[in-house]
């Protein structure tokens, strides 16, 4: 385009029926916060010499072209841009964040990942972030710049679906290179009675390397084996659902050693559990619901403040593999699944020791939350907590042995009973 940073450029099509404008307006009307992801490049914004085996839109995206486009998007959805001037439509609403690329650790999205055996995409992706960040902030300082959510597996074996045409860098190693830290061997202090200390590793700053600029750290802690939220990735440098802490540790180390100024929130920008029905290899509906809330708990423990379920409603794509297209909390016809309740009001318990349980959850409404215990044929409140809407709550309960527990928000129950009446 002759004016690539212009939010009203005639070279861009934001306002058609399939454009972004109606989608962003529709989301705002429903009270949704919007994260926009820029994930591929047009051919004029790619590096030269894209080989035939590289997917179009992925080959060495030009950082300055990406910065111009990111600036145009940030300005258009800053809350003050009016595409029809003084026409009848109001200005476009503001979006919360722009995510710079998708799964940059695999060359299906950002190529090449490797040159020979050397990982090269972390350095190039750092250039992309460092170009886009100031471009976005120049027009909208409040808009968050989010890193591309890294995919969970590296090669080999690449998770359950290895692909010879898609080389992946293990996410822990990708983040170490991107954030300018590397592991070194250390020996701990001597143990008792003069015993040798254990050997280990710590992350130190990589000299001559300046970390990237961003506001929010993102990872896609997906498990596409269908084995449940406690199944770790096949390699210690992978980061599947229970392994989010592996990449968060790299982030915190980079902050600690000065490679990355400040402290950054962590978002999981994709996770999923397919359900059966309609996916033939998905989890039963009640299991999907349980896995959703257990997954949210694991992400919270690892330090995440947001997690995005891959689908809101199911589609008919790839009905026989764990690809996430049947991970919705609604069926394709709009009927809710049990996982909708689990997502709105997760409630998980974890045994701390023989005499102590920890209860965790996220309240769907403000008011008095009651944790109840099943005693005989009735439910008895054992703890009451005042909660805000959307607030995470944690309670330690002196309960030995097996227990059946649930949680209710009294104001929500009254509202539902009134609506039902």
pLDDT at site 162: 76
Count CA atoms closer than 13 A to 22's CA, side-chain side. Answer: 6
CB 212 within 8 A of CB 129: yes
- The tens digit of pLDDT for each residue in 330-365 reads 999 999 999 999 999 999 999 999 999 999 999 999
- The tens digit of pLDDT for each residue in 16-64 reads 888 899 999 999 999 999 999 999 999 999 999 999 999 999 999 999 9
Name the band, by pLDDT with cuts 50, 70 and 90, for residue 164. Answer: confident
Largest CA distance in the chain: 82
pLDDT surpassing 60 at residue 282: yes
pLDDT surpassing 70 at residue 194: no
Name the band, by pLDDT with cuts 50, 70 and 90, for residue 329. Answer: very high
- The tens digit of pLDDT for each residue in 288-313 reads 999 999 999 999 999 999 999 999 99
- The tens digit of pLDDT for each residue in 92-125 reads 999 999 999 999 999 999 999 999 999 999 999 9
Q: Rg of the chain over CA atoms, in angstroms?
A: 24
Distances (CA, A) of 38 to 41, 69, 90, 101, 223: 8, 9, 25, 5, 24
Contacts of 76-79 with C-beta under 8 Å, sequence gap 24+, read 76/7, 76/8, 76/14, 77/20, 77/24, 77/34, 77/36, 77/143, 78/139, 78/140, 78/143
pLDDT surpassing 90 at residue 81: yes
pLDDT surpassing 60 at residue 421: no
Name the band, by pLDDT with cuts 50, 70 and 90, for residue 151. Answer: very high
Q: What is the mean pLDDT of residues 51-78?
A: 97
CB atoms within 10 A of CB 64: 14
Residues in the chain: 421
Distances (CA, A) of 316 to 22, 86, 325: 24, 42, 7
- The tens digit of pLDDT for each residue in 363-418 reads 999 999 999 999 999 999 999 999 999 999 999 999 999 999 999 998 777 777 76
- Percent of residues, the chain, with pLDDT higher than 70: 97
pLDDT at site 200: 84
Q: How far apart are CA 289 and CA 259, in angstroms?
A: 40
121: left (phi over 0), alpha (psi -120 to 50) or beta: alpha
pLDDT at site 231: 95
Q: Which two tokens stand for residue 245?
A: 């802490």
Averaged pLDDT score across all residues of the chain: 94
pLDDT at site 156: 84
CB 298 within 8 A of CB 249: no
Distances (CA, A) of 379 to 74, 166, 374, 403, 405: 51, 53, 5, 12, 8
pLDDT at site 350: 95
pLDDT at site 402: 94
pLDDT surpassing 80 at residue 171: yes
Name the band, by pLDDT with cuts 50, 70 and 90, for residue 228. Answer: very high
Which residues on adjacent β-strands are paired with residue 336? 330
pLDDT at site 197: 64
Q: Which two tokens stand for residue 169?
A: 């860098």
Q: How far apart are CA 89 and CA 43, in angstroms?
A: 33
Name the band, by pLDDT with cuts 50, 70 and 90, for residue 419. Answer: confident
401: left (phi over 0), alpha (psi -120 to 50) or beta: left
pLDDT at site 16: 86
Q: What is the mean pLDDT of residues 194-221?
A: 89
As a three-state string, the secondary structure of the chain is CCCCCCCCCCCCCCCCCCCHHHHHHHHHHCCCCCEEEECCCCHHHCCCCCCCCCCCCCECCCHHHHHHHHHHHHHHCCCCCCCCCCCCCCCCCCCCEEEECCCCCECCCCECCEECCEECHHHHHHHHHHHHHHHHHHHCCCCEEEECCECCCCCCCCCCCCCCCCCECCHHHHHHHHCCEEEEEEECCCCHHHCCCCEEEEEEECCCCCCCCCCEEEECCCCCCCCCCCCCCCCCCCCCHHHHHHHHHHHHHHHHCCCCCCCCCEEEEEECCCEECCCCCCEEHHHHHHHHHHHHHHHHHHCEEEEEECCCECCCCCCCCCCCCCCCCECCCCCECHHHHHHHCCEEEEEEECCEEEEEEECCCCEEEEEEEEECCEEEEEEEEEECCCCEEEEEECCCCCCCEEEEEHHHHHHHHHHHC
Q: How far apart are CA 68 and CA 359, in angstroms?
A: 47
CB atoms within 10 A of CB 328: 25
State the pairing for strand pair 304-309/144-147.
unpaired
Name the band, by pLDDT with cuts 50, 70 and 90, for residue 86. Answer: confident
pLDDT surpassing 60 at residue 180: yes
Q: Which two tokens stand for residue 347?
A: 């409630």
Count CA atoms closer than 13 A to 108's CA, side-chain side. Answer: 15
pLDDT at site 96: 97
């Amino acid at each position: 385009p002759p004016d690539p940073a212009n939010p009203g450029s005639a070279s861009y099509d934001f306002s058609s029926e399939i454009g972004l404008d109606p989608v962003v307006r529709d989301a705002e009307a429903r009270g949704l916060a919007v994260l926009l992801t820029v994930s591929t490049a047009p051919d004029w914004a790619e590096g030269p010499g894209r080989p035939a085996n590289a997917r179009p839109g992925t080959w060495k995206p030009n950082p300055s072209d990406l910065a111009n486009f990111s600036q145009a998007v940030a300005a258009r959805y800053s809350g003050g841009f009016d595409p029809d001037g003084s026409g009848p439509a109001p200005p476009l609403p503001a979006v919360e964040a722009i995510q710079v690329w998708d799964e940059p650790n695999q060359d299906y999205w950002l190529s090449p990942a490797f040159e020979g055996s050397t990982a090269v995409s972390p350095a190039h992706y750092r250039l992309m972030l460092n170009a886009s960040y100031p471009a976005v902030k120049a027009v909208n300082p409040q808009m968050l710049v989010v890193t591309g959510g890294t995919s969970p597996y590296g090669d080999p074996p690449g998770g359950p679906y290895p692909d010879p045409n898609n080389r992946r860098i293990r996410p822990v190693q990708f983040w170490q290179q991107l954030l300018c830290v590397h592991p070194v061997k250390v020996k701990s202090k001597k143990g008792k009675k003069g015993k040798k200390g254990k050997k280990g590793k710590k992350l130190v700053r990589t000299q001559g390397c300046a970390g990237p600029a961003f506001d929010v750290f993102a990872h896609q802690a997906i498990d596409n084996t269908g084995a449940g939220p406690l199944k770790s990735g096949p390699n210690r440098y992978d980061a599947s659902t229970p392994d989010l802490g592996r990449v968060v540790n790299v982030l915190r180390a980079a902050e600690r050693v000065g490679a990355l100024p400040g402290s950054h929130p962590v978002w999981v920008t994709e996770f999923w559990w397919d359900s059966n029905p309609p996916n033939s290899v998905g989890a039963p509906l009640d299991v999907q619901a349980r896995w959703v809330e257990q997954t949210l708990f694991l992400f919270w423990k690892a330090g995440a403040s947001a997690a995005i379920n891959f689908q809101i409603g199911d589609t008919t794509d790839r009905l026989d593999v764990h690809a996430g297209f049947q991970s919705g909390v609604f069926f394709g016809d709009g009927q809710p699944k049990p996982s909708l309740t689990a997502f709105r009001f997760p409630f998980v318990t974890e045994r701390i020791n023989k005499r102590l349980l920890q209860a965790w959850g996220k309240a769907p409404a403000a008011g008095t939350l009651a944790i109840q215990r099943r005693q005989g044929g009735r439910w008895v409140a054992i703890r009451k907590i005042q909660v805000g809407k959307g607030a995470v709550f944690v309670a330690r309960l002196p309960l030995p042995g097996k227990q059946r527990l649930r949680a209710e928000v009294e104001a929500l129950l009254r509202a539902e009973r009134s609506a039902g009446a």
